[in-house]
Amino acid sequence: MFPTLLLICVVRDQDTPRLLDTLRDRKISFTKLASTGGFLREGNTTLLIGIEEERREEVRDLIRKTCGRREEIVESTIPLNEPIGPFVPQRVKVTRGGGVLFEIPIEYYERF
């Protein structure tokens, strides 16, 4: 059976290894592209994934679970007295992860 959909998936570099392992475990083929862009504000990876219509939701769910948005606590230094003062480490909750997923129907496919 040949792929009927092309998924273009852009995710954070930090999430990429886990996603690649998950896709390989499920025998889902992909092409990994190094990419840059400002809309994720951090390093990212673009994956091209050709799938059959029947696997659409399975692959979407894998991507969401592996690369979904999550809250993390990070150390940040903010000035104690504005505008200039000593910097005090603060723990700040930030949202990390997430990505962008495009789905394109395939009209023609050839493997050579």
Running DSSP on this structure, what letter comes out for residue 61?
Answer: H
Give the pLDDT score at 81. 58
Q: Which domains does the chain have, with CATH numbers?
A: 5-105 (3.30.70.120)
Nearest to 97 by CA among 50, 45, 23, 55: 45
Reported pTM:
0.73
pLDDT in tens for each of the 112 residues of the chain? 677 999 999 998 888 999 999 999 999 999 999 887 764 456 789 999 999 999 999 999 999 999 877 777 777 766 555 666 566 677 777 666 678 899 999 998 888 8
Give the pLDDT score at 78. 61
Give the pLDDT score at 110. 85
